[in-house]
Amino acid sequence: MPRKTTKKSQTTSPGTSGVDAKSKSVVKGKKTELTSARRSNLKQQLATDQGGCLTPESVNIEQTSSSGAAETKNELNTLPLENFKFERVLSENPTTKSIVLYGKFDESEDKFAVILAEKTVFTREAVTTLFTDGRTSFTHNFQNDIYGQYSSDTGIKLTVVYPATEKHVKKYSQQRSIMIQESGHVYATYVRPYAQTQALSLQWVDNILEGRAEADRVIYNDEGSETGFLLLPDLKWSQENVEDLYVLAIVRKKGILCLRELDANHLSLLENVLTHGRKAIADKYKVPANQIRAYIHYHPSYYHLHVHFTLVGYQAPGSMVGQSHLLEDVIENIKRVDSNYYANRTLTYQIREDSPILALVET
């Protein structure tokens, strides 16, 4: 039988309703490892741990009761998580940041456990004291212009924009989106001039292209002036886990603002990015090439042509219909339908209600 650890009373503390926090079974020491440590760490731990079981040191369960152990009532049968013998991962979901484990609490028994471990959402209270409570320390992974990436050993990743402009405040603020249609004419007349002059700064892109930032993060570098590109992990990816892989290809040629500008002259560039970008990612991260999705955003946030690479099992932010165009489809449309397909056609996409582009399209 699993060891019963039942020291919990629901009615021990007068003046409280429901569960008394003090009488809960608490996970201490390397606490919360099971739920908030990085999944990569967990997987590594599970893989390397002899016999695949979590050791008592890694998940230390302590039972406390405000009224003493023996005389509590309404006992909970708290399971001995520290005895869990991991057998295999049933599923994992990088989008919801969860993983399901299968195993036993007692090897001599024929009973199995399924454990769904999920990261919890931030509470406003906890996150505002995250940097000042002295409990979480962050490592600065890289800096490019005003963008910095930090991560903690408790599985929190930060993107810090400093100093942030009004445009950044807008970009990162919650806002409803709607669907609109934009003709080729409207793009060329109103949207293109905006993209050229008033969109977010491309300083960070120039830094990458000129080797001034993120040089040590580059995965692949094709120096060709017409068809060359640089491949590197996206700002959104901490690289701790391959499941939420996010890699960016930034083309070397300047002045290709976005999807709208692509025509037959860019086919070799696009094919080069698709073929060599995908292969470099598959080789470097040991993922099958046919699991790698390559796409272009329309509209992008930054108007210098770049291609997003993510895995099919990950619903990456911005990978949905209404924002993404598969690179293979882009190539096909230009090659077989119309060399000026993207300059001419009306494009339907989702857009934030406060976007300046919406105002331009609706004029």
Looking at beta carbons only, is 70 or 179 nearer to ligand G7M? 179
d(CA 293, CA 246): 10
> Active-site residue 306, yes or no?
yes
Residue 11, both tokens: 């009615």
The closest residue (CB) to ligand G7M is 300
d(CA 351, CA 357): 8
| Distance of closest approach, residue 180 Cβ to ligand G7M, in angstroms | 17
| Distance of closest approach, residue 254 Cβ to ligand G7M, in angstroms | 15
DSSP output for 292-313? EEEEEESS-SS-S-EEEEEETT
DSSP output for 2-25? PPPB----SS-STT--SS-GGGSE
Residues ≥6 apart with Cβ < 8 Å to 124: none
d(CA 326, CA 316): 14
Looking at beta carbons only, is 97 or 297 nearer to ligand G7M? 297
| Distance of closest approach, residue 147 Cβ to ligand G7M, in angstroms | 4
Residues that bind ligand G7M (CB under 6 A): 144, 147, 204, 214, 232, 234-236, 248, 297, 300-302, 318
Q: DSSP character for 187?
A: I
Q: Which of 304, 306, 308, 325 is catalytic?
A: 306
DSSP output for 238-286? -SS-GGG-EEEEEESSTT--SGGG--GGGHHHHHHIIIIIHHHHHHHHT
Looking at beta carbons only, is 101 or 248 nearer to ligand G7M? 248
Looking at beta carbons only, is 248 or 280 nearer to ligand G7M? 248
| Distance of closest approach, residue 294 Cβ to ligand G7M, in angstroms | 12
Looking at beta carbons only, is 186 or 247 nearer to ligand G7M? 247
| Distance of closest approach, residue 244 Cβ to ligand G7M, in angstroms | 12
Q: Tell me how many degrees the CA angle 220-221-226 measures, rounded to the nearest 5.
A: 135
Annotated catalytic residues are 306
